[in-house]
Amino acid sequence: MRIGNRKRFLFSCIFFTMIMLLFGKAVNPVYEKVLGEPYSPMVKAIDKNNKFKKPIREYTIVLDAGHGGIDNGTSYKDMYEKYLTFKIVKYAEAYLKDKGCKVILTRNEDKLIPLKKIGEKVNEANADAFVSIHINSINDVTFKGITTYYYDAKGYQKDERMNLAQIIEKEAIKDDGWENKGIRRENFAVLRYSKIPCVLVECGFITNKEDREKLSKEEVLKRLAENISNGTIEYLESVK
């Protein structure tokens, strides 16, 4: 190699190395920064914005623990509907409050509230949604699962109420292997009186062994309460 060629070769080598050092090192962190690391938080942020159109804390939800006082509701041995519904409602109340919602209970003690009074309380609350909690029973002991009831008087809020029922049913059966008994239209007084979107959730059959086992576990009641609460929020988020 001639000296001139060697110099040119050396110069080329140094130049190439410098280019590699400059861009090789510089490009990688930029690439990582732009396309790597911030990528997933960016996606999460977009999802969050799409999901929460209105801050959750603004919702007011009325919860009704079915039966109470002299009215035990349905029962099996020492299991009473009025106590189970109250437990579920109290778990849901704590969960919703923690999420920033305002919660109004139709009863906060072991007391019977007339159905018409419940309706009045719901309509005076200026709330966004109303959820009544019950436990089912039937002669056929093989019957099990959760049913969510809605009612539209002459088509009043039909789509909203069906939608709320569908979302709550979907969420309620999510854990613990509950059977999906679907949604049903039923002229229940509490649903008829309410002017806001409302449902009545029959949380399993006390007459069925499997459902009874579920209902006897605090953690199942808590999960159920949280899932029903999530369904209510999901519905409210979808319409606001």
Q: Which residues bind Zn ion (CB under 5 A)?
A: 66, 73, 134
Phi, psi for 111 (deg, rounded to 5): -140, 140
Q: How far is the CB of 55 from Zn ion (least distance, A)?
A: 34
Query: Which amino acid is residue 154, in one-letter code?
Result: K
Q: How far is the CB of 108 from Zn ion (least distance, A)?
A: 18
Contacts of 93 by beta carbon, 8 Å cutoff, 6+ apart: 63, 103, 105
Q: How far is the CB of 139 from Zn ion (least distance, A)?
A: 16
Output 128 or 202, the one with its CB closest to Zn ion: 202
Output 111 or 240, the one with its CB closest to Zn ion: 111
Please give the residue whose beta carbon sits closest to Zn ion in the complex.
134
Output 137 or 232, the one with its CB closest to Zn ion: 137
Tell how many helices (H) and how many strands (E) occur in the chain: 9, 8
Output 66 or 119, the one with its CB closest to Zn ion: 66
Q: How far is the CB of 72 from Zn ion (least distance, A)?
A: 10
Sign of CA dihedral 124, 151, 231, 63: positive
Sign of CA dihedral 187, 188, 194, 196: negative
